[in-house]
Amino acid sequence: MNTNTLDQLRKLKFYGMFHAFKSSLETGKTNDYTADELLAHLVDAEWDYRQNRRIERQIYYAKFRYKASVEDVHYHADRSIDRNQIMRLADCTFIDRNENLLITGSTGIGKSYVASAIGYQACMLGYHVLYASTPKLFAKLKMAKADGSYIKELAKIERQQLLILDDFGIQPFDAQSRAALMEIIEDRHGKTSLIITSQLPISKWFEVIGEKTIADAILDRIVHDAHRIELKGESMRRKRNAEPENSL
């Protein structure tokens, strides 16, 4: 009977129940449960399995640059990172409020890691997230214009509750990329959230976007009431490379 039950659980794709029941049989723990307790145990196992699978899918489709965690962010005093601010952002209620987060600082300082860590946390909490290198995203959108998939790509971006634009402002926006950025920001404004990382201070973004009217409209929607993190200090990448191999 147990073999038949296991086979049916597997065919029904109740893999959490399957593994929990199989483990209970192998360890002889089924005798320790009442019928109600065993059912609750199997349902809990299936729930956990499906939740973990959903989180794995969310993280896979987000396409993060780094596997990151808010617990692993380095809160050195010289980096100007407020642990309390990061923890408040990590509860992701800023996404519920459709607010943005702007992270600036010099190259190698850890902007992408912090953005990815908050993005990972959002995935864990069930939000739809997309991470993108800004230059690569807009190059992809140009190709989409050419092959007719532009509207589909914009719709995919719009569906994300959190969009992370990394390396914003590395190169100036041309007319086509500027128009696409305006469409993305307009579609998302007041409905979803953005995290933007940039080597440039926010005061320089106007110049990078170009064309005064469009730049004004974009920055008004991005910057207004946004949370800000300005990282300082020595490049973390350079610091790690300079450390002795056996240093802690």
Q: pLDDT tens across 19-76, in order?
A: 988 888 888 877 778 888 888 989 999 888 888 888 888 899 999 988 899 989 888 7
Same domain for 84 and 10: no
Tokens matching residue 130: 């997309």
Cα separation, 210 vs 216, in Å, equals 9
Same domain for 235 and 112: yes
Same domain for 29 and 79: no
Measured between its terminal Cα atoms, the distance across the chain in Å is: 55
Provide the number of structural domains found in the chain: 2
Q: Is the dihedral of CA 94, 95, 100, 102 positive or negative?
A: positive
Position 237 scores a pLDDT of 57
Same domain for 213 and 113: yes
On the 0-12 / 13-18 / 19+ scale of CB atoms within 10 A, 184 is: buried
Tokens matching residue 195: 């995290």
Q: Which of 47-51, 76-80, 95-99, 108-112 has the highest mean pLDDT?
A: 95-99
3-state secondary structure of 86: helix
Position 174 scores a pLDDT of 94
Domain with 100 in it? 63-242
Q: Is the pTM of this model over 0.85?
A: no
Same domain for 226 and 210: yes
Which residue in the block uniquely carries the two structure tokens 């993305």?
184
Same domain for 127 and 234: yes
Is 99:225 a contact under the CB 8 Å cutoff? yes
Cα separation, 177 vs 183, in Å, equals 10
Same domain for 128 and 34: no
Same domain for 212 and 106: yes
